Structure 1
Amino acid sequence: MFKRIFWLSAGFCFGVVAVSKAEAYVRANTPDKARQFVLGPDEDNVASRTLGGLIGEFNAARRNREDELSRKYADDMHR
């Protein structure tokens, strides 16, 4: 159990570092127009927009799965 938590945490930390390094590289080495195309017009809030999008996508998938399971088990209870 603790190995999984360790590796999950290590992977998360590695991902955060990799994304921040990539974003810094893009900001430093690309022209303004290309940078706006890659990062969007609001360059300072890329992380919060991405996190918000991931949370929204996760919640939508969770709701869909809950609805699917509710329909399945409701049908099983009526038989």
Structure 2
Amino acid sequence: MFKRLFWIGVGVTIGVVTASKARAYVKAHTPAGARDFVFGHDTTNVAVSTLQGLYDEFQETRRAREAELNRQYIDNSR
């Protein structure tokens, strides 16, 4: 059990670091207009905004799946 939690943590950490580094690389190698279009005007904290985006996407997906399951179980219980 602890091995799985450890490896999940390692995977999440590697994913976040990779996404942050990739975003920083793209930010450094794109023209200002394209960079503002893709990332918005606040490009100072790339790691924080990447984590916030990942968290927001996770929450949105979780809520959609929860609503889907609730509809499924309500329909099946009648």
Structure 2 gaps, min length 5: none
User: What RMSD in Å do the two structures reach over aligned CA positions?
Assistant: 2.0
Q: Which deviations, in whole Å up to 9, do the C-alpha atoms of 1:18-42 show, x marking residues without a partner?
A: 0111111122221101212221344
Paired residues, what number?
A: 74
In structure 2, distance between residues paired with 1:61 and 1:42: 31
- Scaled by the length of structure 2, the TM-score of the pair is 0.73
- Unmatched runs of 5 consecutive residues or more in structure 1: none
- 2:74 equivalent to 1:67: no
Q: Work out which of the two has the higher radius of gyration on C-alpha atoms and give 1 or 2.
A: 1
Could you list the per-position Cα deviations for residues 19-67 of structure 1 after superposition, in whole angstroms to 9, with x for gaps in the alignment? 1111111222211012122213443573324422331221121121122
Identity rate of aligned residues, in percent? 35
Work out whether 1:8 is the aligned partner of 2:8. Answer: yes
| TM-score, with structure 1 as normaliser | 0.73
4+ runs of 1 displaced by more than 4 Å?
Answer: none
Partner of 2:62: 58
